[in-house]
């Protein structure tokens, strides 16, 4: 008898009777994590059908995708109750394959039955292998190679999210190296009640963050407009927002930030006295933790002293083109002695504090 | 408490003991039933131990056998190997009337035996033992790749499955053709 036939007969008699039995398999998978379930699925058709029919929640806690090049994508995930990540690398060997299709197929299979809330979903698009010094200049890499696959990937991801029976629950969404339209492919399709933290960053920011370099080509710095995403229910319910982009053109008063307790934005094109007053009035609540906004230009008209009075602390600029540092304090109503500290120099910081700085 | 008997041995029914007058309630004599597997070896098991099996418990309740009737009519489980049924009976006896512990480390370590036990326990509807067995199966595949799982449990790949099926069909076709030719020869 051929070995394959012997194997088939044995499996038909025992293995498939056990592992293809949904009642038994449900009990076995109760003690298996998502990766073991995935391994079971890949053994054979009979077991795969049995596992899929059970529609088990894989209980992913963190799911990360790094788009390293247009031909290489890494994915890593961690399951609830485990400390380590399990990662998988996808590489496109020949042109007749489509790496995006493969990655999306696995992503859909993994997230299809996810009912538990993901603590973090991180999509690092265009994570280009800058670590391995590319021979090609940066200018040719980003627009020509990375944006199209980012768009293709996120358009596919949007369809996966739309096909799910319920909105995917995610507590923290990190989208790096994305444009505003890329964010809109994901953000509106997540459960607005679960999403608490959003962190977005463009390629410029990612480049600086990874390599601590400031040599990002000026021509590639794009103006960023988040107005559309700030209108979504998901954004309005956020507790923490971090926007790391080149230059953010959206006016501060249109950013719908008043529900947030923690804000970090770098950097906005322009900030005015009215914006500072608006933030002070709307964030002066006990839930405030901190709000930091970097800016390119500050238009102080009228003077802030007209609204806030004299600052408690002034640090005179030693260089002519630099601005004086000024700090104001305002008691937060109902916060048991806590104060809002407004610290303004090259950036604007509003923070919930218990004592004065520089007493 | 349990005994293994070949064929229909004469195990005398337990005599009811006379309860002392001071006792709160008279002690009810334990009833016994008989089961056998593929090897026809009969196992005498108490009703208390058999309560673990929802299938047998249901059968007992419906039949209302007397001790003599039970002895004369052992429950046949032709689909269960004798050694596996012995394991099941032993487990039921060990856990008779006791709360089941969270772990059971006495399960077979050989993979073939474990799968046979899973199938038997699933058939006999012994919930707790099935849970232990399933947990052990899960532990045996923890962290394994699909290839390793295939190797452990002798699972063919889809390609092997297809090839083997084709081979089997081809063989069956040849055998059928041979039989037809032989029949035609006989007819002549």
**pLDDT tens figures, B10-61:** 333 333 333 344 445 556 677 889 999 999 999 999 989 998 999 998 888 8
| Residue-by-residue DSSP string for chain B | --EEEESS--PPPPPPPPPPTTSSSPPPPPPEEEEE-TT-EEEEEEHHHHTT-HHHHHHHHHH---HHHHHHSPEE-TTS-HHHHHHHHHHHHHTTTSPPPS----S--SHHHHHHHHHHHHHHT-HHHHHHHHHHHHHHHTT--HHHHHHHHTPPPHHHHHHHHHHHHHHHHHHHHHHHHHHHHHH-
Q: Is there a contact between B146 and A43 if contact means CB atoms under 8 Å apart?
A: yes
Closest by Cα among A239, A114, A128 to A173? A239
Q: Considering only A49-53, A79-83, A170-174, which range has the smallest mean pLDDT?
A: A79-83
Domain residue ranges in chain A: 1-56, 58-250
Closest residue, chain B, to A20 (C-alpha): B155
Nearest chain B CA: its distance from A161 CA (Å)? 28
Residue A209, both tokens: 């963050």
- Tell me which of A3 and A227 has the higher pLDDT: A227
Contact B5, B42 (CB under 8 A): yes
Chain A positions in Cβ-Cβ contact with residue B146 (cut-off 8 Å): 39-43
User: What is the average pLDDT across A127-140?
Assistant: 55
| Beta-carbon separation of B153 and A36 below 8 A | no
pLDDT tops 50 at residue B143: yes
Q: Does any CB of chain B come closer than 8 Å to the CB of residue A357?
A: no
Q: What is the pLDDT of residue B19?
A: 37
B155:A44 CB<8 A: yes
Q: How far apart are CA A309 and CA A34, in angstroms?
A: 59
For residues A146 and A249, which has the higher predicted lDDT (pLDDT)? Answer: A249
Distance (Å) of CA A235 to CA A123, A171, A198, A242: 18, 12, 8, 12
Predicted confidence (pLDDT) at residue A19 exceeds the cutoff of 80: yes
Which of A215, A264, A256 minimizes the C-alpha distance to A240? A264
Q: What is the pLDDT of residue B83?
A: 94
- Write down the domain spans for chain B: 3-7+28-142
In this predicted structure, the answer to whether residue A330 has a pLDDT above a threshold of 90 is: yes
Which of B145, B155, B157 shows the shortest C-beta gap to A15?
A: B155
Interface of B with A in 39-68 (CB under 8 A): none
Which candidate in B141, B156, B159, B161 is best for mutational testing of the A interface (most A CBs within 10 A)?
B156
Q: How far apart are CA A202 and CA A255, in angstroms?
A: 18
What does the pLDDT read at residue B52?
93
A14 in contact with chain B, both atoms CB, cutoff 8 A: yes
- pLDDT confidence of residue B2: 41
The pLDDT of A85-112, averaged and rounded, is 89
Residue contact A15–B115, C-beta within 8 A:
yes
DSSP letter for A168, please: B
Q: How much is the mean pLDDT over chain A?
A: 87
| Interchain CB distance below 8 Å, A27 and B134 | yes
Residues forming beta bridges with residue A265, ordered by sequence position: A243, A293
Average pLDDT on A74-93 reads: 90
A339: pLDDT strictly greater than 90 = yes
Pick the CATH number of B3-7+28-142 from 3.30.710.10, 3.90.650.10, 3.40.50.620, 2.60.120.560: 3.30.710.10
Q: At what angle are helices B127-141 and B146-153 packed, to 10 degrees?
A: 130
The number of beta carbons lying within 10 Å of the beta carbon of residue B46 is 18
Chain-chain contact of B161 with A47 (C-beta, under 8 angstroms)? no
The ipTM value here is 0.74
Q: How far is A11 from chain B, CA to nearest CA, in Å? A: 5
Q: How is A264-315 classified by DSSP, letter by letter?
A: EEEEEEEEEHHHHHHHHHHH-STT--EEEEEEEEEE--S-THHHH-S-SEEE
A347: its two tokens:
């950036």
Q: What angle do CA A294, A295, A296 make, to 5 degrees?
A: 140
CB proximity under 8 Å: B 71-100 to A: none
Nearest CA in chain B to A26: B134
| DSSP line for A109-162 | HHHTT--SPEEEEEEETT----SS--SS-HHHHIIIIIHHHHHHHHHHHHHHHH
Which of A16, A44, A81 is best to mutate for the B interface (most B CBs within 10 A)? A44
Q: Is the pLDDT of residue A135 over 50?
A: yes
pLDDT band at A207, cuts 50/70/90?
low
pTM of the model: 0.78
On the question of pLDDT at A138 being above 90, the answer is no
Q: What confidence category does residue B67 fall into, taking pLDDT thresholds of 50, 70 and 90?
A: confident
Higher pLDDT among residues B109 and A350, named by residue: A350
pLDDT band per the 50, 70, 90 thresholds, residue A160: very high
Best mutation target, A18, A32, A45, A82, to test chain B (most B CBs within 10 A) = A18
Distance CA A266, CA A269 (A): 9
Q: Which residue of B has its CA nearest to A47?
A: B155
Q: What pLDDT, on the 0 to 100 scale, is given for residue A50?
A: 93
| A24 inside 8 A of chain B by CB | yes
Residue B77's CB is within 10 A of a number of other CB atoms, namely 20
The dihedrals phi and psi of B11, each to the nearest 5 degrees, come to -85, 115
Closest Cα in chain A, distance from residue B33 (Å) = 28
B172 touches chain A (CB under 8 A): no
What integer pLDDT is reported at residue A317 of this predicted model? 78
Question: In the prediction, which pLDDT does B22 show?
Answer: 46
Residue B130 touches partner A, C-beta closer than 8 Å: yes
């Amino acid at each position: 008898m051929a070995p394959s036939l012997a194997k088939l007969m044995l499996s038909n008699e025992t293995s498939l009777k056990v592992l293809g039995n949904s009642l038994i398999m449900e009990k076995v998978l109760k003690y298996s994590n998502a990766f073991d379930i995935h391994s079971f699925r890949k053994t054979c058709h009979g077991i795969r059908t049995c596992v899929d029919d059970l529609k088990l929640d894989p209980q992913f806690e963190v799911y990360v995708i790094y788009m390293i090049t247009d031909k290489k994508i890494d994915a890593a995930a961690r399951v609830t109750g485990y400390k380590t990540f399990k990662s998988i690398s996808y590489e496109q060997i020949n042109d007749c394959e489509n790496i995006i299709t493969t990655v999306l197929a696995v992503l859909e299979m993994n997230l299809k039955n996810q009912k538990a809330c993901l603590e973090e979903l991180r999509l690092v698009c265009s994570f280009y292998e800058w670590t391995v010094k590319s021979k090609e200049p940066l200018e040719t890499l980003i627009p020509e190679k990375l944006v199209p696959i980012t768009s293709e990937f996120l358009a596919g991801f949007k369809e996966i999210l739309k096909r799910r029976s319920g909105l995917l629950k995610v507590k923290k969404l990190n989208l790096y190296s994305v444009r505003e339209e890329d964010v809109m492919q994901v953000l509106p399709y997540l459960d607005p009640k679960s999403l608490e933290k959003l962190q977005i960053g463009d390629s410029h920011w990612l480049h600086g963050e990874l390599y601590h370099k400031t040599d990002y080509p000026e021509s590639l710095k794009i103006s960023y407009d988040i107005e559309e995403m700030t209108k979504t229910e998901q954004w309005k319910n956020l507790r923490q927002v971090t926007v790391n982009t080149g230059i953010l053109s959206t006016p501060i008063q249109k950013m719908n930030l008043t529900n947030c307790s923690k804000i970090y934005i770098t950097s906005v094109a322009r900030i005015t006295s009215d914006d500072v007053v608006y933030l002070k009035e709307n964030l002066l609540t006990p839930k405030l933790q901190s709000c930091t906004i970097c800016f390119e230009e500050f238009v102080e008209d009228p003077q802030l002293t007209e609204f806030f009075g004299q600052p408690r602390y002034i640090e005179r600029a030693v260089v002519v083109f630099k601005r004086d540092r000024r700090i104001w304090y305002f008691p937060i109503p109902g916060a048991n002695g806590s104060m809002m500290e407004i610290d303004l120099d090259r950036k604007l910081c509003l923070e919930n504090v218990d004592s004065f700085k520089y007493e | 408490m349990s005994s293994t008997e070949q064929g229909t041995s004469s195990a005398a029914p337990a005599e009811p003991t006379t309860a002392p007058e001071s006792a709160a309630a008279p002690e009810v004599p334990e009833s016994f039933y008989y089961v056998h597997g593929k090897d026809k070896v009969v196992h005498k098991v108490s009703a208390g131990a058999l309560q673990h099996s929802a299938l047998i418990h249901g059968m007992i309740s419906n039949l209302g056998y007397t001790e003599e009737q039970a002895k004369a009519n052992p429950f046949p489980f032709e689909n269960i190997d004798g050694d596996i049924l012995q394991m099941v009976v032993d487990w039921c006896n060990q856990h008779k009337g006791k709360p089941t512990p969270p772990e059971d480390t006495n399960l077979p370590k050989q993979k073939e035996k474990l799968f046979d036990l899973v199938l038997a326990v699933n058939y006999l509807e012994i919930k707790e033992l099935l849970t232990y067995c399933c947990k052990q199966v899960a532990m045996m595949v923890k962290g394994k790749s699909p290839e390793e799982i295939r190797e452990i449990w002798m699972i063919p790949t889809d390609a092997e499955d297809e090839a083997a099926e084709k081979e089997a069909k081809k063989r069956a076709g040849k055998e059928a053709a041979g039989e037809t030719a032989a029949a035609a020869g006989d007819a002549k």
